[in-house]
Structure 1
């Protein structure tokens, strides 16, 4: 995937300035920056969810997204939360649940799972889609440090096993480093990308 962004504005205010980025299957990129700088907006552009920008987005990769919240189907059990969105067959969905430590919870509904378990279910759903690129928006936010560390390790293991690339937006540099990401910083008004040592 390649993005050549000329700019992104809301209500006449430019929030993202000119920037260029590319990432392919197997590569890992982390976009660091404080809350409100435009990281989620940039990720939505990369995901193809926001087409209202000046510039060009190219790429035919299969994408999967993991949002800040798990965004599960509350009226469906864990197994259906994988099979319905991805088209994955039930047997493979059970394998993915086992991969993320949720074996035996196939019939549990999201309300019956802890937040950490819901995050693992969302991760299983993403990898069940067999993505070339995984896009993650602050995926470990609101988790306690121990649970977040386990989720980072699990994500790294699943990425290594699948060969998928990663674009991670986060304010947590340690998470990005733990996932062996190439780092870029989003900063300024309007926000632009730069290597960490060049950030303001």
Structure 2
């Protein structure tokens, strides 16, 4: 995946300036910066969710995105929350649920699960899509320290096991270090990669 961003504006306000990113399987990058800097906007561009920008994205990498919230289908059980968006089999869904520590939750609905369990289900769904690159937008926000540490370790283990690359958006440099992601700091107005 290669991003050559010239700029991103909302009306007359330019929020992102020129940014060049290149990422392949096995590589891990973290975009760091304070809230409101444009980190999530940049990730949405990379994910193809925001086509209104100047520049280009090239590459045929398969992407999977984990949002700040789990974004699960509340009217579907855990298994269906994996099989419907990814097209994987029920057996594959159950295998991924076991790998994230949810082997007995196949028929549970999101409302029957804790936030930590919902985040693990979202992680299983992302990896069930067999991504070349995993995109994560502040995925450990609102988790207590212990739960966040477990989620980071699990994510790192799954990345290593599958060989997927990572583009992480976070304000916390400790998360980048724990995931062994090369830090890139976003700053300035309009925001650009600093240094």
Where on the TM-score scale, by shorter chain, does this alignment land: which range? over 0.9
Q: How far 1:153 sits from its partner (Å)?
A: 0.2
Q: How far 1:194 sits from its partner (Å)?
A: 2.2
Partner of 1:193 in structure 2?
A: 193
Whole-Å separation in 1 of the counterparts to 2:91 and 2:20: 41
Whole-Å separation in 1 of the counterparts to 2:97 and 2:184: 32
**Which residues of structure 2 form unaligned runs of 5+?**
none
Q: How does 1:10-159 map to 2 (within 5 A)?
A: 10-159=10-159
Q: How far 1:29 sits from its partner (Å)?
A: 0.3
Whole-Å separation in 2 of the counterparts to 1:21 and 1:94: 35
Whole-Å separation in 1 of the counterparts to 2:14 and 2:177: 30
Q: How far 1:56 sits from its partner (Å)?
A: 1.1
Aligned Cα RMSD in Å? 0.5
Whole-Å separation in 1 of the counterparts to 2:161 and 2:56: 31
Whole-Å separation in 2 of the counterparts to 1:21 and 1:63: 15
Partner of 1:198 in structure 2?
A: none
| TM-score normalised by structure 2 residue count | 0.99
Q: How far 1:12 sits from its partner (Å)?
A: 1.0
Aligned residues: 195
**Which residues of structure 1 form unaligned runs of 5+?**
196-200
Partner of 2:176 in structure 1?
A: 176
